[in-house]
Structure 1
Amino acid sequence: MSNLFKPGKNCWRVEHADRSAVLIDGENYFRAVRKSLAQARQRIMLLGWDFDERVEMHDTAEEPEGPLKIGAYFDWLLKKNRDLNIYVLRWDTGALKSFFRVNGLLTLIRWYFHPRVHFKLDSHHPVGAAHHQKVIAIDEDTAFCSGIDVTNNRWDTRAHEDKDSHRLQPDGNDAGPWHDAAMVVQGAVACALSEYAVQHWQDAGGKKIKAVTVKGDCWPKDLEADFTDCPVAIARTMPTMDDQLGVHEIENLCLDLIAAAKDFIYAESQYFASARIAAALAARLSEPDGPEVVILNPQSAEGWLESEIMDSTRARLFEAVRAKDKYGRFRIFHPFNEAGTPIYVHAKIMIIDDRYIRIGSSNFNNRSLGFDSECDVAIDASEFEGDEISSQIARVRNDLLAEHLGVEEREVGSLLEETGSLIATIDRLNTPGRGLGPYETPDVGAVEEWLADNDILDPKRADDVIAGII
């Protein structure tokens, strides 16, 4: 057991994983999902913020078996296996746009009358909140926990080319470069994620779910595991409701991970908009021997409203943290491809030193840490003899940086060993084109003037944090 993971405080449960692997970017994720779904014997459960039956699961490395579109692929699986039931639970508010797609509406109507497809819109949330977790559980044997919805605008290769015909959306437009991440697990932790999915289905008012009565191997064929025989923590966010106590395990886990860091805090998040996370980072950056902090964000949040709110919040928090960064150990970067086009960061990753890795659906914002429903998984290498797991965690971090910098993973590892610094390693390997651009605060003067009147990292009341940054 981990000394850091505390069920009931910063995680829900800690369960054993026979195998687990990190999947970087949409192509690798959808390839693994296809292969795992193909081995399902009795039950597939999919929980998501969004679901689009038109999604095409392209594969540039292998010839996929079965239809490319996920809706047609489900139909294909159901015809092949008469014992298979498929359950899809998606956020109700986000589903409204589906009813304006003729093909989508026809598929939903057809599935409504299918005896082994069960589709439910989840309205079990407060007004304005979202059902945001992304979990796929297969036969209580294998499960995916990620930031990737089975929807359009998620597929991309790790090359993040400027133009890619496989990224064309139903309207014919290229969705653009998109970076994401997931973890797949097998064993008792997958069974726990299946229980989590069943509970959400029941809370949403779904019909009784058929039990899994057979044991099969649903691990994606030919996928090499990154970690074997290790415990994995499951952490959640659940909003307070009349019939439900609020759960803030993910926020507590993030704060505990930040406190545990010795050398490096590396994170990828769609947003940087949590004052509590920012305050915890600022405290560590104030220490003479504290860790370096490197965060990857998209250049700008997606959508005009998110951009207006989240980008202005990020500017304020960035300057507030930088003011506490006495030793120059804090950076926010944005990735760009070879053509200089921004790559949208949708991944939700946190890697602490070579000891801890967390992947899931939650961002560094107030919604993810207290208002929406979220699910993350995490691994702790500090309690294991030898360095096999810690070396793999380091390899994942270095591999992510190598992707963003357009170099080989071994180059990152070698230079990091030489410099002892993530920031120095990035600076040395960064080149024009494919690389990482530093975050620059828009209208620094206005932000600094605002900060002079609002100490958002040390508010007098909790409400001041929310009122101050939004």
Structure 2
Amino acid sequence: MSVPQPGDNCWRIARATQASTIIDADAYFRHARAAMIKAKKRIMLIGWDFDAAISLIREDEAQDGAPAVIGDFISWLVERSPDLEIFLLRWDVGAMKAMVRPSNLFTTIKWMAHPRVTVKMDSHHPPAASHHQKIVVIDDCFAFCGGIDMTGDRWDTRHHRDEEPGRLHPDGSPYSPWHDATTALSGPVAVALGDHARNRWKGAGGDDLLPVEGVEDCWPDALKVQFTNVDVAISRSAPEMDDQDGIREIERLYLDQIASAKRCIYAESQYFASRRIAEAIARRLDEADGPDIVIVNPTQADGWLEQQAMDTARARLFEALKARDTHGRFRIYHPFTQRGVPIYVHAKILIVDDRLIRVGSSNMNNRSMRLDTECDVTIDTALPVNAECGAQILAIRDDLIAEHLDLPAERVAGVIAARGLIAGIEEMRQKPGRTLRPYETPDLNDVQAWLADNEILDPEGPEEMFESISERGLFRRMKGWFGRN
């Protein structure tokens, strides 16, 4: 059994006095707002994108005197609390795109004029890479870490309704259903995530920040606690650069966790395009008694460029794995609404057996392994203090599947316990309405196939950005794996 090991597949292991998963941005925005209202000394917002115009709650729900729109809310927080400082770090390329929106530009200038609000653009990455982490740290006693950005197009409820009046752009136009996830953590693990956030802040050119001490009672009052007094492993990705070594904890953790599964692996990811993860899955598919492996993806990536990179790679990896799957233990599914509209999957979750749950910012693509900066957290029952967490981990998995199938979690748990993961999903998804549908490999034209095979748009790391095309390729290490029966 693989165990989280600091210095190998994780950075640190730290105690969480309380911990919970939060599914979908309706709940996250609501709890994030409540947590920030409790802040006394410091809020650090570390994100890929940030939209000052979005609302954290509906205007008619703002009964506490605090604004609903996050741009006004940040200003309100520092005006209300004279000891509070706010530090906001966002990816520089995403920030430049956001600045074309007048509301963002005006609000950012307003923030930057305030002595206790500091905004920085994170450019500490190679060309074509991104700062992709999504972390909020409040007073070093509470933190969110996961995959949800505080930006437009993210808000949705777990019902993923076809007609949802709250799922609108700031200009009032609708956007499609969106599924996402993050975690809430309190105690020493929040101190550790605070250290990580401060390190990233300094790496991006910010000043040294001291830890915050002496603040307690940061947990949002309405947030249900799922775990108490558990050890949490923090894993990171960061690219190799002239002034820093590359960090590959996330990659090693994926490989270790896939190798450790006994009965089943359930994952949600925006992409499935990583060679190394496909290789790890292939090894398990060769085993006569290996685990069921289910990955929930969106039907296609968000944006033309991402579709060319990620969707074509997924198609070719899926076909290669399908040829190896002689025991029928590998599936990719997509969630759909009541009327058959695809639900975009942005969550990054991995659940292995009843043993571990992992939530973070990393996707199952090459960039998340070595090129972009990422941060994931794991609760693993292999750590002795977590030994009794298995039932809660399974409950979270079954609740996620129940959301996608629009069924009671109790029924989902019973059917999977009796039939197994894939057979259970296959039985329950055969119904009209909101459900999961299996992935179907699209026809790939020659250009798309070439882009996928040569990883033109999804390099494994900064060194590959300048590597000869002849030295690259989706299957360059896989020929031995996928060429045999």
Give the equivalent residue in structure 1 for 2:205: 205
Give the equivalent residue in structure 1 for 2:277: 277
Distance in 2 between residues matched to 1:328 and 1:177, nearest whole Å: 30
Is the Cα–Cα contact under 8 Å of residues 31 and 59 in structure 1 kept in the other structure?
Answer: no
Distance in 2 between residues matched to 1:61 and 1:99, nearest whole Å: 28
Is the Cα–Cα contact under 8 Å of residues 335 and 437 in structure 1 kept in the other structure?
Answer: yes
CA deviation digits over 1:62-87, x for unaligned, max 9? 65632111111111111221100000
Q: Pick from 441, 450, 474: which aligns with 1:465? A: 474
Is the Cα–Cα contact under 8 Å of residues 25 and 179 in structure 1 kept in the other structure?
Answer: yes
Give the equivalent residue in structure 1 for 2:156: 156
Which 5+ residue runs of structure 2 have no aligned equivalent? 455-469, 479-485
CA deviation digits over 1:41-67, x for unaligned, max 9? 000001001011111112699656321
Q: 1:31: how far off? A: 1.2
Give the equivalent residue in structure 2 for 1:329: 329
Give the equivalent residue in structure 1 for 2:318: 318
Give the equivalent residue in structure 2 for 1:101: 101
Which 5+ residue runs of structure 1 have no aligned equivalent? 455-460
Distance in 1 between residues matched to 2:235 and 2:257, nearest whole Å: 13
Give the equivalent residue in structure 2 for 1:457: none
Distance in 2 between residues matched to 1:329 and 1:153, nearest whole Å: 34
1:12 and 2:11 equivalent? yes
Letter in 2 for 1:225: V
More deviation, 52-61/394-403: 52-61
RMSD: 2.3
Q: 1:168: how far off? A: 0.9
CA deviation digits over 1:350-406, x for unaligned, max 9? 000000111000000000011000000001123448974100000000000000000
Is the Cα–Cα contact under 8 Å of residues 3 and 383 in structure 2 kept in the other structure?
Answer: no
CA deviation digits over 1:70-119, x for unaligned, max 9? 11111111122110000000000111122212221111111111000000
CA deviation digits over 1:320-346, x for unaligned, max 9? 111111100110000001111100000
Identical pairs, percent: 50
How many residues were matched structurally? Answer: 458
Distance in 2 between residues matched to 1:104 and 1:444, nearest whole Å: 39
Distance in 1 between residues matched to 2:6 and 2:330, nearest whole Å: 31
Give the equivalent residue in structure 2 for 1:256: 256
Distance in 2 between residues matched to 1:61 and 1:147, nearest whole Å: 27
Is the Cα–Cα contact under 8 Å of residues 44 and 85 in structure 1 kept in the other structure?
Answer: yes
TM-score by length of 1: 0.93
Letter in 2 for 1:272: F
Is the Cα–Cα contact under 8 Å of residues 140 and 213 in structure 2 kept in the other structure?
Answer: no
Give the equivalent residue in structure 2 for 1:86: 86
Is the Cα–Cα contact under 8 Å of residues 49 and 95 in structure 2 kept in the other structure?
Answer: yes
Equivalent position SS for 1:165 = coil
Is the Cα–Cα contact under 8 Å of residues 235 and 376 in structure 1 kept in the other structure?
Answer: yes
Give the equivalent residue in structure 1 for 2:457: none
Give the equivalent residue in structure 2 for 1:458: none
Letter in 1 for 2:474: V
Question: CA 1:386/1:251 → structure 2, altered by over 3 Å: closer, same or farther?
Answer: closer
Distance in 2 between residues matched to 1:258 and 1:64, nearest whole Å: 46
Equivalent position SS for 1:145 = strand
CA deviation digits over 1:183-219, x for unaligned, max 9? 1100111100001000111111113436524322111
Give the equivalent residue in structure 2 for 1:177: 177
Is the Cα–Cα contact under 8 Å of residues 180 and 348 in structure 2 kept in the other structure?
Answer: yes
More deviation, 106-115/340-349: 106-115
Is the Cα–Cα contact under 8 Å of residues 265 and 293 in structure 1 kept in the other structure?
Answer: yes
Distance in 1 between residues matched to 2:330 and 2:144, nearest whole Å: 32
Equivalent position SS for 1:364 = coil
Matches within 5 A, 1:169-248: 169-209=169-209, 211-248=211-248
CA deviation digits over 1:109-148, x for unaligned, max 9? 1111100000000111111110000000000000000111
Q: 1:254: how far off? A: 0.5
Is the Cα–Cα contact under 8 Å of residues 269 and 349 in structure 1 kept in the other structure?
Answer: yes
Matches within 5 A, 1:257-406: 257-384=257-384, 388-406=388-406
Question: CA 1:60/1:231 → structure 2, altered by over 3 Å: closer, same or farther?
Answer: farther
Equivalent position SS for 2:436 = strand
Distance in 2 between residues matched to 1:412 and 1:324, nearest whole Å: 28
Give the equivalent residue in structure 1 for 2:120: 120
Distance in 1 between residues matched to 2:95 and 2:347, nearest whole Å: 22
Letter in 1 for 2:251: E
CA deviation digits over 1:138-192, x for unaligned, max 9? 0000000011111011110000011212111023221210000001100111100
